[in-house]
């Protein structure tokens, strides 16, 4: 059957073992292709949020210990549900903070310059917030970020070459922080290999999992990764501003948190109100302040669904969707000067496709007018993210057909080629 036909797309949907989960989400009138920026609301996430609101309404302060899901232990509960998705034990994972706050905590904990090992290694394609945090941590330790933050260069502006990363693991590097998946191109880094190479050189290494957690399987514990951190509002559909997550390898348990706060206390000691912190014995030690209950409550419903569906099945469908999207782009858009800036190989591609075009900002605005929600990244990237739990092959087919019509009719020319305030 012709893969470019609507009939083929519908046939693929008929075989989809995850199709039933589409009914679990509040779908928009538009075709949503921006789940790698903000996932849609599920009915289960709505329910667990409303449960916490009801506990507040009915129990007041007693909700901390007597609610449907007691708030005092909420972060630990969610950590245990997240653990299978990142390949870790329950005690190694905690839902707390935000991406950047958690990076500050982990860098403050694990960046301990000594002797000639004083520099931090990152990369020039990482999300800017990570670089801001690392620059700040270097300054706090008295080092100049311009000389002590080493950023691996990309050879083509899209991908990182792992040989270049390894070559940059020199004797003066104290800490490495890299993305699991590059937020622009969707390239997956070989976390296992990079961790082994870092440890062979006596360097600690951590990963930003914002674009991978909920989209691909991980084995943080088996890979011996030192730490990781991520947001829960993209692929995990935790809601806007949803509380983040962190992983600390159990071999580091007992290491003093760089940024101390009372929610890093051992639970049975926290309300002793002593002025000396009795640190939690596990990843809970790296919490800082009181959990934002109404921002973590939706994650509970979402994680229950993820563990029910299984990350391997989610990954398999995600690969099928992005592979199909690339095939259709090759077939239907070859005359319109698009370039696929994402890896073609399954093992190296995350959950979105980076489609490059010099008129990308205008094309994104045109897509929105035709009922497609894409994502723009300056200067020339249209990110399209079909999500395994609620996107369909038919939707992918329609997106490419609409793109073809937009280009054929030059509909995009009615818009300025510049990003909106929020891209």
Angle at the Cα of 125 from the Cα atoms of 153 and 157, rounded to 5 degrees: 65
Residue with tokens 């589409």: 22
Q: Is 100 annotated as a binding residue?
A: yes
Report the C-alpha gap between 243 and 231 in whole angstroms: 7
Residue pair 152/165 in contact (Cβ under 8 Å)? The answer is: yes
Q: CB–CB of 24/17 below 8 Å? A: no
CB 404, CB 333: distance < 8 Å: yes
CB-count burial class (<10 Å; 0-12, 13-18, 19+) for 124: exposed
Contact of 255 with 101, CB cutoff 8 Å: no
Residues 6+ apart with CB under 8 A from 101: 244, 288
State residue 225 phi and psi, 5-degree precision: -60, 140
* 208 has binding-site annotation: yes
233 annotated to a ligand binding site: yes
Instruction: Check if the beta carbon of residue 159 is closer than 8 Å to that of residue 185.
Output: yes
Question: Is 211 labelled as part of a ligand binding site?
Answer: yes
Tell me if 129 is assigned to a ligand binding site: yes
Residue 130 annotated as lining a ligand binding site: yes
Is 185 within 8 Å of 126 (Cβ atoms)?
no
Q: What is the DSSP letter of 277?
A: -
d(CA 385, CA 18): 17
* Distance separating alpha carbons of residues 105 and 111, to the nearest angstrom: 10
Residue 73 burial class via C-beta count within 10 angstroms: exposed 0-12, middle 13-18, buried 19 and up = middle
Binding residue per annotation — 128?
yes
Binding site membership: which residues? 99-100, 127-130, 208, 211, 233, 262, 290
Binding site membership for pyridoxal 5'-phosphate: which residues? 99-100, 127-130, 208, 211, 233, 262, 290
């Amino acid at each position: 059957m012709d893969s470019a036909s609507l009939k083929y797309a519908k046939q693929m949907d008929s075989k989809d073992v995850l199709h039933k989960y589409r009914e679990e989400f509040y779908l928009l009138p538009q075709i949503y292709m921006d789940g790698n920026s903000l996932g849609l609301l599920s009915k289960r996430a709505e329910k667990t949020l409303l449960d916490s609101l009801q506990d507040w309404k009915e129990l007041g302060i007693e909700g901390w210990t007597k609610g449907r899901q007691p708030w005092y232990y909420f972060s630990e509960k969610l950590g245990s549900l997240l653990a299978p998705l990142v390949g870790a034990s329950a005690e190694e994972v905690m839902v707390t903070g935000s991406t950047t706050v958690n990076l500050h905590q982990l860098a403050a904990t694990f960046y301990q310059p000594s002797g000639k090992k004083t520099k931090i290694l990152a990369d020039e394609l990482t999300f800017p917030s990570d670089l801001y945090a690392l620059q700040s941590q270097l300054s706090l330790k008295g080092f100049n970020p311009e000389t002590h933050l080493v950023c691996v260069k990309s050879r083509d502006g899209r991908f990182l070459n792992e040989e270049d990363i390894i070559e940059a693991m020199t004797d003066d590097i104290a800490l490495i922080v890299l993305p699991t998946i590059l937020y622009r191109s969707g390239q997956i880094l070989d976390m296992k290999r990079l961790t082994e190479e870092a440890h062979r050189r006596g360097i600690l290494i951590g990963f930003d999992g914002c674009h991978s957690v909920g989209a691909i399987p991980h084995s943080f514990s088996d890979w011996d990764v030192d730490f990781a951190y991520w947001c829960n509002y993209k692929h995990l559909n935790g809601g806007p501003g949803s509380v983040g997550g962190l992983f600390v390898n159990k071999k580091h348990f007992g290491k003093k948190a760089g940024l101390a706060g009372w929610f890093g206390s051992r639970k049975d000691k926290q309300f002793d109100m002593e002025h000396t912190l009795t640190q939690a014995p596990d990843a809970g030690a790296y919490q800082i302040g009181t959990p934002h209950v109404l921002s973590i409550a939706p994650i509970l419903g979402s994680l229950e669904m993820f563990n029910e569906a299984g990350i391997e099945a989610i990954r398999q469908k995600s690969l099928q969707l992005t592979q199909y999207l690339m095939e259709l782009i090759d077939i239907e858009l070859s005359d319109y000067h698009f370039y696929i800036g994402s890896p073609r190989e399954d093992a190296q591609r995350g959950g979105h496709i980076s489609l490059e075009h010099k008129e990308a900002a205008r094309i994104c605005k045109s897509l929105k007018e035709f009922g497609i929600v894409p994502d723009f990244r300056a200067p020339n990237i249209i990110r399209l993210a079909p999500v395994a739990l609620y996107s369909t092959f038919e939707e992918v087919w329609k997106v490419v057909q609409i793109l073809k019509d937009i280009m054929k009719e030059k509909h995009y020319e009615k818009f300025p080629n510049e990003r909106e305030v929020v891209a």
